Amino acid sequence: MTLRALHDAARKTLDPVHYDYVAGGADEERVLSANESAFDRYLLLPRILCGSETRDTTARLPGARRAAPVFVAPTAFHRLMHPDGERATARAAAAEGAVLVTGTAATTAVDSVVAAAREAAPDPAVWFQLYLHPRREVTEALVRRAEQAGCTALVVTVDSAVFGRHTRDLRNGFTDLPPGHAAENMRDLPGAPPGSLTDIPMSAAPTWRDFAELARTTALPVLVKGILHPADARLAVGHGASGVIVSNHGGRQCDAVPAALDCLPAVVDAVAGRTPVLMDGGVRRGSDIAVALALGATAVGVGRPVMWGLAAEGEAGVRAVLATLRDEYDHTLALCGGRRNADLTKDMVVRRGETR
């Protein structure tokens, strides 16, 4: 079962409005398509006579040591894809040895997500994604819920001072979740009755001081998601970030920014090894993972492919996505003469049409 086949099966299965919610991007969706096409501009230059019969693809991440450099990026409303929702995703990620980043906008509460992950593995790595809320006590309450549930890191999304303008959702009139669905992590918190797609209030003017204050409220590692500019990467490190995630929100925010992959090398240079650099956006095959790691990423996140796997085949579909990417990556690493992730280096990547 290929990722493309799972996507096609999901499209046939889903309500078209719900499909559009996940598949769509902001405005004219230029960034959405650029994230994928960026990988087509890069080619790998293999090394020869230096490989190994077996390879170690272990990735060491904040609060986790996983079997492959792939994590499940935060995506909202998994129960729109499948009745088991985030619980199925959690079991699949844990069984495949991948970090799961569960979101504030999950349709399953974080304690239930972590419990489901523990059904599949004794030591799952579940990170909790959150936004800086305009009311500090709400942000702190979410942090406490994540800690008590057993999450091993926090991921603060910082590219969403306002929601992106999702043309497909506007055309479809999709503004509210179906009956019985809610942003469960917001339940019982002030100012956020669950039910609407905009039930996740976010600070309209978050600052680095807000981030630093959040980091001081927890002993968990805190990563910053939504970095594109190298100066912001340096600021993140200076304000105590345990990792930065290069991301344009899957093309769902500003439709006039570069592809995430194109921003990765400059961010890696800016961080200069002081903290792990992760990225998401457009990863669709194992060779994409290899390109990103060669350009300096520690691991890559996948979002939409996980949702298609969930819609098509539930937990088994998510496992198929993660296993396929892991196996394709291991195969690519072998063909490039690598024994471990660190063997993929910047000099092994060229832009299409260029030569060394």
Residues annotated as part of the active site: 249
Rounded CA-CA distance 246/278 in Å is 6
Q: Indicate if the alpha-carbon torsion angle 28, 30, 32, 33 is positive or negative.
A: positive
Rounded CA-CA distance 186/24 in Å is 24
How would you classify residue 162: left for phi > 0, otherwise alpha for psi between -120 and 50, otherwise beta?
Answer: beta
**3-state SS assignment for residue 203:** coil
Residue 326 to residues 7, 171, 177: CA-CA distances in angstroms?
Answer: 18, 37, 33
Q: Which single residue is written with the structure tokens 């492959």?
A: 68
**3-state SS assignment for residue 163:** coil
* Contact (Cβ atoms closer than 8 angstroms) between residue 97 and residue 121: yes
* Contact (Cβ atoms closer than 8 angstroms) between residue 73 and residue 279: no
**3-state SS assignment for residue 183:** coil
CA torsion angle 133 162 164 75 (round to 10) = -10
How far does Cα 16 stand from its chain's mean position?
Answer: 23
C-alpha closest to that of 233 among 218, 247, 250, 214: 247
Q: Indicate if the alpha-carbon torsion angle 145, 150, 154, 157 is positive or negative.
A: negative
DSSP 63-99: TEEESSSEEE---S-GGGT-TTHHHHHHHHHHHTT-E
**3-state SS assignment for residue 319:** helix
Local structure of residue 176 (DSSP, 8 states): B
| Phi and psi angles of residue 260, each rounded to the nearest 5 degrees, phi first | -60, -40
C-alpha closest to that of 78 among 330, 350, 317, 336: 317
